[in-house]
Structure 1
Amino acid sequence: MEEKTVGIVSSPELPSTIANAIKKQLKKDLSRYIADGRFQWHVEMEVDLLAGATEKVAEVLEETERIKIRNGWDYAISLTDLPVYNGRCIVLADANVDTCTAQISLPAFGWLPTPNRVKIIMLHMIKELYFRHTTDFKADDLAQKGIGPKEQSGFLNKLEKPFRFSAVRRIESSNQAEETAVRFIIVPKINGLARILFGMTIANRPWTILPSLKNVVAIAFATGAYGLIFPTLWKLSVSYEIYRFIGLTATAVLGMVVWIIFSHDLWEKKNLENKNRLRWMYNSTTILTLGTSVVMYYIVLYLLFLIAVSVFVPPDLYQAEAGTDIGPLNYLKLAWLVTSVATFAGAIGAGLENPERVRKSTYSYRQYSRYEEMKEKEKQEDRKRKATDD
């Protein structure tokens, strides 16, 4: 039996994790759904740094083709956390039919780039490369394998419309080298933009920054615990309306995000090397990533203070100081107020954290590589200016 090999070229971190998760099942699905069992399918994987660092889609596909030729693969699919554009449209996946290479952009999946969803798109791209056109894929191919009508319908629907509740449009074009390109774009544009922002935020793994904030939690908890000694916060928690609590929370979270960004130089500035669209995208992603991390931090701190006020604030004394009846809701509000006040103090502590560690925790591999590359170019420009001045 003739053998066919599909190679997955993934960038580090989240893409490689997903690739490893789908590798075994993808092999089974290829054998079941493509080519009537005429081939024995193999799936191999390789982690490539370029696929996670460069912003140029052409370079990623060229590198994917080089890896495909080097390993003797029949098909190669790049799995990247790089946002891909076609004009102003967001690209979910694209394929070069002539070179038998394809690329899948994880950010276009939005909040849920689950292995199963990625696998369905990967099967679709291999189908595009194998059959050349979607219309060549017939239900008879499945029927001959003993797959019933119900299974046929389910599988074909998934392939023809990967996202049932969103718009994915297929377009086909040829470049100057007369190579056929097939792309799947997200429409409308606002839908694609939202997917990219949320997808890039997930790729940055905002939950991983929490260990870097352990010292911040310690400073904030110590500050809030000290504040609980005085009855001022007790009285305020009874007097404040709910909108004040919400306003304090929003101000504390936003203040901490802004402080972390500027104290650790996480804001990407305008220069000759970056495009406004990508710079805006990366900065928006940084805000979303840190915002998600700080909200998680806030919830952890709130739970700690809820335990603290329950243990250390006697109901009788609380009632005497507040001048009104005290119930469980008052303890919830007191913990809420102390958490917001302590978060302001924690923001100062966040500025004392190691900047390099914060950047590595906040950025994905792609964004961190981009940051390092830009910093290196800035250093080179500074050295050139100094040499010119001398």
Structure 2
Amino acid sequence: MATIARRRPEIVVGLVATPPDYPAQVVARLAAELADRLAERVDAEVLWTVREGWGDVAPRRDGGVEALIDDLGRRCADARWDVAICLTDLPLYSERVPLVAHVSARRRVAAVSLPALGLCQLRAVRAAVPDLVSRLLTDASDDRVSPAGWAPAELTSRVAAVRRVVGEETAELSCLASPLTGRIRLVSGMVRANRPGRALLGLSKLLVGAFGSAAFALASNTIWKMGDALGGLRLTVIMLVGLTALVTWLIVAHDLWERPDEQTPAEVARLFNLGTVITLTLATTVSYLVLFTGTVLAAGLLIDTSVLRQALQRPVGLIDYLTLAWIISSLATVGGAIGSGLEDEDTVRAAAYGYHPEPGGWRDEKDA
């Protein structure tokens, strides 16, 4: 007589991205492999089903992690998931230190702050999410899986961002980062989530305007003599002033500065503004380097050595061409600021950390 195969129990895990911008990309990549990781790390006898979803485009900021957990708990119950994990790019705090993750066994949900994981976020969530699912099912006394064979404090060895875990007695676990290195990791993670490359591509008209200004400046031997007369210190100051003015102009002209209000606490607003400033600084610095490289090449092609030597009244070499490109690039950033005013508003606002555009081409399963 043939042996009747025992039906494997099914456990549905929901992955929710809040907001559905950068976190949705992480959710999509994690969902593709999470079932296999859960079978390997938690229980191979279970049929793991992973569902993707998204939260609010503009999530509440005033309630901290509790607001996310409450919303996620209702979403988990409505969708009839067994457990749910929320990945968010909101910076979260607890006990005045960055919060990496929060686990609520009562509501069978957990939230993970992607910025608190630092730069290697996908690798960290790959390590953390199976453990969080295992802990949720164990604390909920779900007999479909074997109890977790590790203590919550062991997360500190699995995920570098986690310094300590508190709240084991109440089954409301908070995974906290280090007060110092955790803040550094949080800021770097915010910049990573804000994608400076997207801001760089969004400032294409700025770069075109800067190249136009540089082309006019290359034809002026007055600029050649000015660059020769200025020393390295003053050229550095001019460069820094130009970049600072450009970043300031972008923030003011496109209203990228986050102001504290009832929905945004002062601490969160400061973090958002810091993330925006660093993102724009990186994008404009790379733009400056591209402009400098292009100006050096253009100067080498258009200005003959004999012409430059006659203007400067001395022998010239590569350093003189680099110096010429340096001052022209610094001055051309002002022209780039004019070009930035022609950018599409949504394209520039994408550099603001607190701004999340309406998602397109990616539908929530509850709307499918």
TM-score (norm 2): 0.84
Deviation of 1:237 after TM superposition, in Å, equals 3.2
| Cα RMSD after superposing both structures | 2.6
Amino acid at match of 1:171: V
Given the superposition, is the C-alpha separation of residues 330 and 111 from structure 1 closer, same or farther in structure 2, using an over 3 Å criterion? farther
Q: Quote the Cα distance in structure 1 between the aligned partners of 2:75 and 2:264.
A: 28
- Alignment correspondent of 1:153: none
User: What pairs with 1:1-390 in structure 2 (closer than 5 Å)?
Assistant: 1-11=8-18, 12-35=20-43, 37-49=44-56, 53-55=59-61, 56=63, 57-113=65-121, 115-132=122-139, 137-138=148-149, 159-164=155-160, 168-172=163-167, 180-187=171-178, 189-359=179-349, 361-364=350-353, 366-368=354-356
Deviation of 1:206 after TM superposition, in Å, equals 2.3
Given the superposition, is the C-alpha separation of residues 5 and 274 from structure 1 closer, same or farther in structure 2, using an over 3 Å criterion? closer
Q: Quote the Cα distance in structure 1 between the aligned partners of 2:154 and 2:293.
A: 43
Amino acid at match of 2:74: R
1:120·1:159 contact (CA, 8 Å) conserved in 2? Answer: no
- Alignment correspondent of 2:366: none
- Amino-acid identity (%): 25
Deviation of 1:173 after TM superposition, in Å, equals 5.6
Q: Deviations over 1:273-301 (max 9, x none)?
A: 43221221122222112112211221221
1:123·1:159 contact (CA, 8 Å) conserved in 2? Answer: no
What are structure 1's unaligned runs of at least 5 residues?
140-155, 370-390
2:156·2:164 contact (CA, 8 Å) conserved in 1? Answer: no
SS at structure 2 position matched to 1:367: coil
Deviation of 1:4 after TM superposition, in Å, equals 1.4
- Alignment correspondent of 2:3: none
Q: Quote the Cα distance in structure 1 between the aligned partners of 2:278 and 2:118.
A: 13
Given the superposition, is the C-alpha separation of residues 211 and 227 from structure 1 closer, same or farther in structure 2, using an over 3 Å criterion? same
Deviation of 1:227 after TM superposition, in Å, equals 1.1
Q: Quote the Cα distance in structure 1 between the aligned partners of 2:300 and 2:11.
A: 64
SS at structure 1 position matched to 2:203: helix
* Count of residues in Structure 1 that have an aligned counterpart in Structure 2: 341
2:83·2:108 contact (CA, 8 Å) conserved in 1? Answer: yes
Q: Quote the Cα distance in structure 1 between the aligned partners of 2:171 and 2:355.
A: 31
Q: Deviations over 1:219-274 (max 9, x none)?
A: 22111111111112223333433333322221111110111111222222344543
Amino acid at match of 1:65: G
SS at structure 2 position matched to 1:53: coil
2:253·2:341 contact (CA, 8 Å) conserved in 1? Answer: yes
What are structure 2's unaligned runs of at least 5 residues?
1-7, 141-146, 358-368
Deviation of 1:314 after TM superposition, in Å, equals 0.6
Q: Quote the Cα distance in structure 1 between the aligned partners of 2:92 and 2:261.
A: 21
1:53·1:367 contact (CA, 8 Å) conserved in 2? Answer: no
- Alignment correspondent of 1:147: none
More helix by share: 1
Query: Which of structure 1's runs of 4+ aligned residues deviate more than 6 A?
Result: none
Range moving further from structure 2, 258-267 or 213-222: 213-222
Q: Quote the Cα distance in structure 1 between the aligned partners of 2:356 and 2:34.
A: 30
Q: Deviations over 1:33-68 (max 9, x none)?
A: 213x23121222112226x52213222212212222
Amino acid at match of 1:76: A
Amino acid at match of 1:299: L
Q: Quote the Cα distance in structure 1 between the aligned partners of 2:259 and 2:217.
A: 39
1:259·1:351 contact (CA, 8 Å) conserved in 2? Answer: no
Deviation of 1:302 after TM superposition, in Å, equals 1.6
- Alignment correspondent of 2:365: none
SS at structure 1 position matched to 2:163: strand
Q: Quote the Cα distance in structure 1 between the aligned partners of 2:116 and 2:215.
A: 44
Q: Quote the Cα distance in structure 2 between the aligned partners of 1:30 and 1:354.
A: 43
TM-score (norm 1): 0.80
Amino acid at match of 2:275: T
